[in-house]
Structure 1
Amino acid sequence: MFNTALTFLKSSHVMLSVFFLAIVSANAHAVENKTKQHNDERPNILLIVADDMAYTDLSVFGGGDIATPTLDTLAEEGLAFSRFYAAAQCSATRSMLLTGLDNHQAGMGTTVGAYSQPAPNQQGKPGYEGEIRDDAITVSTLLQEAGYDTFMVGKWHLGASLKNRPINRGFNRTFAIQQNSDHFNDRLGSFGFGRRDYWRNGEVANDLPDDFYQTRSFTDEFIGHLQQRKQDSPFFGYLAYTAPHYPLQAPDDIIDKYKGKYDTGYDVLRQKRAEGLMSSGLLAQNALVSHQRADVTQWDALSVDEKKTSARAMEIYAAMVDEMDSNIARVIHYLKKNDLYDNTLIIFLSDNGAEAASHLRGHAPALIPKAKNVDNSLANMGRKGSVVLYSHTWASAGEGVFREYKFSGAEGGIRVPAIMSWPAGSLKAGINHGVTSVLDFMPTALELAGVTHPSTSSSGNTSSKSEKGRFQSPIGKSLVPVLHGEADSVRTDDDYLGFEFWGGRGVVAGNWKLTGLYNQQQSKLARWELFDLTKDPGEQADLSHSRPEKMQQMLGYWREYVKNNGVVLAEPDVPALRLP
């Protein structure tokens, strides 16, 4: 009996040894595959976002008066997108970028803050929370769970509550600010009063150096995160500059580079920018240019002092764009020096069109008088203690042929400069004229990373790190076929993009655009207009009456967009949107 038992134990020992060897072998194979996938196959992803930059500020997009060699080179060696759409406002765009959802689905149907609240009929409605919803999972979370090292520096603007700070939305390391402040270390709000906190890994940072300047300091922080990156993992880095958002401020040495550059005025600059844009290949040579707004005073009608002050504001703005380009060069230099550049997909874009705030427009007339110790003298413009706005006059020049600016559903508010570069990615360089969107970033990043969105899985859950139930499915489209030159566009003429923010609303489908603006002077929604953007990117020739069949098709898209995304137009203008 003893011999029988011994035989059984020996046999069992052999079986257990084989079993454990099989487990070890399988685990080693899995680790080997995982390591190979992380190190050799998946690209790094670098997302760079400018704040309120005009469409033609870059030389490659029609400018030439501002030094932007770094971004121009990225565009020339990569892809420049002529029809890339964002939302009309900062936080709405950022919610779409990070979630792949329409801003109403993501929770940013409007901005919630001291000077912006949902209308009575929007309060409590899904999509109007003013921060990212729990069921809107971020691309950073999914990449983090897939083994990417994730970090973020700069403007967040997606919710200041602890649960919605970037450290809790999928980033391993962060240095962030919720919304804009002055650009030096004063921590004052955009209009020179209040306090803006910086968060380092979710905690308030009180260690800003005396020489702090956002663009340079954000770059320092970002390069620091690159230096701390996990060596055996690809990275996702999100660098969200606050330049060139007001208050316009920059180091003296950079501003001095542009002294006297804009003394000929904004009328001349607008003409030059429009001509440069049409000769760039981004637009047709015979494109219709938007008319100058009636509220733009001709440059020659200004007094000598008004010209000096106005030109100085544009000099500071140009310095901010110049400085951002120079600091992006620092990041790229680090990537090249450390053999990271070739396999890094770099995406650059502006979050919306140019900001048209002035002492007569927007929040500024009500807020600037409340600011204390503001010195806007000509000698102090652009330095600490100044609150400089470059006005709708220069914003109009920056948009070139396009109509309107930030907050508007016109092309000047939502069509933004966008560039993608990826040396090792077999990227087809050139200009892409397909309809593309900030919604497309998340699907593109996930496909390149080999990550499946949890909404497409059978359970609807992600890993144990983020078990919150089912997540909304992204509505953007992967641009991988475009990057590889396999397709000119990822959308057909029937694949529409809808948009709405603060009443600026509409639909883009192929070459057609349905637009309903918000009339600020009359505080009501303007009537619908229809444009053929191939011939008329300046939105001058309304075809709503001459093309009734197309008008009805686009209105149908709008109704579908409203229904699918829970759009609630603010009172008292809801009746104005009853469609025929």
Structure 2
Amino acid sequence: MILKGPTTLLTALALLSPATLGAQAAQPKRPNIVILLADDWGFSDVGAFGGEIATPNIDALAAKGVRFSNFHVAGSCSPTRAMLQTGVINHRAGLGNMPETIPPEHLGKPGYETHLNNRVVTIAQQLRAVGYRTYLSGKWHLGHTPNTLPTARGYDHALALAQSGADNFEDKPNLLIYDKTEWTEDGKPAKLPKRFYSSTLIVDKMIGYIDRGKASGKPFLASVNFIANHIPVQARDADIAAYAGRYNAGWTVLRNERRAAAIAKGVMPVGVPAVTMNTSGDWSKLSAQQQRQRAGAMAAYAGMGTAMDREIGRLIAHLKAIGAYDNTIFVFLSDNGAEATDPMNMGAFTRWNANQLYDQSIPQQGRPGSLTAQGAGFASASVSPLRGYKFTASEGGLRVPMIMAWPGNPAIKGGSVAAGFAHVTDMPLTLLMLAGVTPQQGSFSGRRVEPMIGVDLSPMLTGVASSVHSPDKPLGYELSGNAVLFKGDYKLVKNLPPYGDGRWRLYNITTDPGEAHNLSSSEPARFAAMQKDYAAFAKANKVLPMPEGYTAPDQIFENALRTLLIPRLLAMWPVGAALVMATAALIWWRRRRRRLPQGIATP
């Protein structure tokens, strides 16, 4: 059932309104809102979605709320974050691409500012305008200048990381990409403790913000943005030890276990195909040392996830202690699918550089001073039973676990699953509606802004409707040349190399979420019509074609060389001058090579 019309919508909202909680109808108490955003978690990493990683606190939210099993985001972090903050498609919000993956030819073009532009307003700005306290802690990645940091975009207080990731134990960047970290607090450089753990620090800071403003009596928005489990994957020794030996059977076994568990938990249809990605490799063909290394990296990944869940539990316990838990709406989601990239598998230069900058020995994996990554094999298990990873437009890159809970609201059936299509642009509008705030639709504080495009998901929370998106309305998406057109149960998708061959394919992602059966030949009319829909989306949103031979991994490497390595070499004059010339030649050679015909594996 698809909900239509204002009457049924108002009925659903009445069930979910603060008045339902027993507050006076004349002046209902607005709910608090807590957004818990994980980084690079695959669809089945959460226990409630089929994972073996211990996530009891997230699972408890699922038991109190609704799991959305067909929820979609962008293929990488900042475009998702832009849409989550604004309810506007990433191209109109300024994140048509990320700073790390954008080709120089696109930088600064409309929609490609690589930061949240001034044509959009955030959920924080809209909630603050009606009296909310607004706080953010953790990863921002939507701008690093004073006018693009959280406190310039509606947040009262914010501890924010402007980059894609950082070390989890000390104030140190990912040295393969950045020269220094960009942590700020309230718009100024932050002073972090000498030693810390990122998930603990992020929750500590949020608890402090909430308590600081508690006496005001105003409701709050808490945007909690973890850097778990982004590279570098790191966890405390005890958390890593808890998974010792758990992954010795390899990723194929784990992928099959996850598939069965996801079906049993009701978040995947019975009989969903078990697809295998050709990037994951054959576990049995690895040497004993290689298996030990990969299993150890996955143990660190699982430990990092459990540590994040523990901090979520600590935040929830605090909200219970101060009497705020029942009237708080919780949202848990990941910003994209699992990360398959491994610096130790990206070519001789990157591997050499990682070994120079970090301790990459097997016993050190996941510990301070290491640069550990999950890798493609176990990432294929994290997204099981889906296909594709972070950066791709396949379901494994875009479909993520999402949970909404409002513990004190009896209208929500705890433990239920909403299987209808939903999208990250729906989230800000839904939260505003649940808070009793009229969402902006093209104007805010007297100025014209990009209107929100989302649909209210609240009827799916109550079970009034199984879906709220019209089967006839298309929704487009593009990032780094990987593109999608959603329409009803169907998805038109193409992935550029190295993730695909650049050809369009058609899938029914309701019955075939693993994208195993290409329908482009059997449904030619639908295939053609959806390509026209995508072309209209691309034109309306000024989507730029990618330069010939573009690949996201190559662009990350080239951008890092240009912005990080070359300045370092120039500082070594005159020896550095020769190295700069060599580096420029390497960039030129890589660009020339990527324009040459190469064999491409079909996804």
Provide the TM-score with structure 1 as the length reference: 0.86
Distance 1:192 1:275, change over 3 A: same
Per the alignment, residue 546 of structure 1 pairs with 522
Of 484, 492, 497, the residue aligned with 1:519 is 497
Distance 1:453 1:118, change over 3 A: farther
Of 465, 478, 488, the residue aligned with 1:510 is 488
The alpha-carbon deviation at position 309 of structure 1 amounts to: 0.8
Of 305, 311, 318, the residue aligned with 1:327 is 311
| 1:217 equivalent in alignment to 2:205 | no
Pairwise mapping of residues 328-407 of structure 1 onto structure 2 (< 5 A)? 328-359=312-343, 367-371=350-354, 372-407=356-391
Of 205, 229, 251, the residue aligned with 2:236 is 251
| 1:451 equivalent in alignment to 2:437 | yes
Of 222, 227, 247, the residue aligned with 1:237 is 222
Pairwise mapping of residues 29-68 of structure 1 onto structure 2 (< 5 A)? 40-63=28-51, 65-68=52-55
| 1:473 equivalent in alignment to 2:451 | yes
Range that drifts further, 99-108 or 496-505 = 496-505
SS in 2 for 1:379: helix
Per the alignment, residue 265 of structure 1 pairs with 250
**Paired residues of 1:518 and 1:525 also in contact (CA < 8 A):** yes
Range that drifts further, 319-328 or 208-217 = 208-217
Distance in 2 between residues matched to 1:366 and 1:127, nearest whole Å:
33
Distance in 1 between residues matched to 2:36 and 2:341, nearest whole Å:
24
Per the alignment, residue 582 of structure 2 pairs with none
The alpha-carbon deviation at position 258 of structure 1 amounts to: 0.9
Per the alignment, residue 83 of structure 2 pairs with 96
Give CA deviations for 1:110-131 in whole Å, capped at 9, x if unaligned.
1124xx33352x3442101101
| 1:431 equivalent in alignment to 2:417 | yes
Of 91, 99, 106, the residue aligned with 1:112 is 99
The alpha-carbon deviation at position 100 of structure 1 amounts to: 0.5
**Paired residues of 1:39 and 1:233 also in contact (CA < 8 A):** no
Give CA deviations for 1:337-368 in whole Å, capped at 9, x if unaligned.
11111110000000000000114656x86545
Range that drifts further, 323-332 or 492-501 = 492-501
**Paired residues of 2:199 and 2:226 also in contact (CA < 8 A):** yes
Q: Which amino acid aligns with 1:339?
A: G
Aligned length: 523
SS in 1 for 2:75: coil
| 1:411 equivalent in alignment to 2:395 | yes
Of 432, 439, 442, the residue aligned with 2:428 is 442
Q: Which amino acid aligns with 2:81?
A: R
Q: Which amino acid aligns with 2:62?
A: A
Contiguous gaps of at least 5 residues in structure 2: 1-22, 551-603
Q: Which amino acid aligns with 1:510?
A: G
Per the alignment, residue 18 of structure 1 pairs with none
Distance 1:366 1:349, change over 3 A: farther
The RMSD of aligned alpha carbons is: 2.1
**Paired residues of 2:340 and 2:377 also in contact (CA < 8 A):** yes
**Paired residues of 1:499 and 1:506 also in contact (CA < 8 A):** yes
The alpha-carbon deviation at position 378 of structure 1 amounts to: 1.8
Give CA deviations for 1:157-201 in whole Å, capped at 9, x if unaligned.
001111000111100011111121111114222648621021111
Give CA deviations for 1:88-109 in whole Å, capped at 9, x if unaligned.
0100000000010000010000
Distance in 1 between residues matched to 2:24 and 2:432, nearest whole Å:
18
| 1:566 equivalent in alignment to 2:542 | yes
Distance in 1 between residues matched to 2:352 and 2:378, nearest whole Å:
23
Give CA deviations for 1:230-253 in whole Å, capped at 9, x if unaligned.
432110000000001111111111
Distance in 1 between residues matched to 2:230 and 2:405, nearest whole Å:
25
| 1:318 equivalent in alignment to 2:302 | yes
Identity over aligned pairs, percent: 36
Distance in 2 between residues matched to 1:190 and 1:536, nearest whole Å:
40
Give CA deviations for 1:425-470 in whole Å, capped at 9, x if unaligned.
32233100111111011111221233334445xxx341xxxx6x31
Distance 1:306 1:514, change over 3 A: same
The alpha-carbon deviation at position 37 of structure 1 amounts to: 9.3
Distance 1:359 1:478, change over 3 A: same
Distance in 1 between residues matched to 2:524 and 2:268, nearest whole Å:
26
The alpha-carbon deviation at position 492 of structure 1 amounts to: 1.9
Q: Which amino acid aligns with 1:42?
A: R
Give CA deviations for 1:507-541 in whole Å, capped at 9, x if unaligned.
122211111111227xx861110112233211111
The alpha-carbon deviation at position 72 of structure 1 amounts to: 0.9
The alpha-carbon deviation at position 84 of structure 1 amounts to: 0.3
**Paired residues of 1:192 and 1:374 also in contact (CA < 8 A):** no
User: Which is higher, the Rg of structure 1 or of structure 2?
Assistant: 1
Range that drifts further, 478-487 or 299-308 = 478-487
Q: Which amino acid aligns with 2:31?
A: P
Distance 1:556 1:476, change over 3 A: same
Distance in 2 between residues matched to 1:497 and 1:431, nearest whole Å:
23
The alpha-carbon deviation at position 36 of structure 1 amounts to: 8.1
**Paired residues of 1:287 and 1:534 also in contact (CA < 8 A):** no
**Paired residues of 1:192 and 1:386 also in contact (CA < 8 A):** no
Distance 1:315 1:358, change over 3 A: same
Of 474, 493, 516, the residue aligned with 1:496 is 474
| 1:200 equivalent in alignment to 2:185 | yes
**Paired residues of 2:440 and 2:452 also in contact (CA < 8 A):** no
Distance in 2 between residues matched to 1:382 and 1:69, nearest whole Å:
22
**Paired residues of 1:187 and 1:197 also in contact (CA < 8 A):** no
Contiguous gaps of at least 5 residues in structure 1: 1-34, 575-580
Q: Which amino acid aligns with 1:572?
A: E
**Paired residues of 1:75 and 1:419 also in contact (CA < 8 A):** yes
**Paired residues of 1:86 and 1:438 also in contact (CA < 8 A):** yes
SS in 1 for 2:408: helix
Per the alignment, residue 139 of structure 2 pairs with 155
**Paired residues of 1:87 and 1:351 also in contact (CA < 8 A):** yes
Per the alignment, residue 420 of structure 1 pairs with 404
Distance in 1 between residues matched to 2:245 and 2:147, nearest whole Å:
48
Distance 1:535 1:461, change over 3 A: closer
Range that drifts further, 128-137 or 550-559 = 550-559
Distance 1:569 1:38, change over 3 A: farther
SS in 2 for 1:97: helix
Distance in 1 between residues matched to 2:176 and 2:526, nearest whole Å:
44
Give CA deviations for 1:239-293 in whole Å, capped at 9, x if unaligned.
0000011111111111111111111111111111111112221111111222x22
The alpha-carbon deviation at position 404 of structure 1 amounts to: 0.9
Distance 1:66 1:38, change over 3 A: farther
Provide the TM-score with structure 2 as the length reference: 0.83
Distance 1:193 1:449, change over 3 A: closer
**Paired residues of 2:62 and 2:403 also in contact (CA < 8 A):** yes
Distance 1:516 1:119, change over 3 A: farther
Per the alignment, residue 30 of structure 1 pairs with none
**Paired residues of 1:154 and 1:241 also in contact (CA < 8 A):** yes
Distance in 1 between residues matched to 2:35 and 2:317, nearest whole Å:
16
Distance in 2 between residues matched to 1:570 and 1:60, nearest whole Å:
38
Per the alignment, residue 513 of structure 2 pairs with 537
**Paired residues of 2:116 and 2:142 also in contact (CA < 8 A):** yes
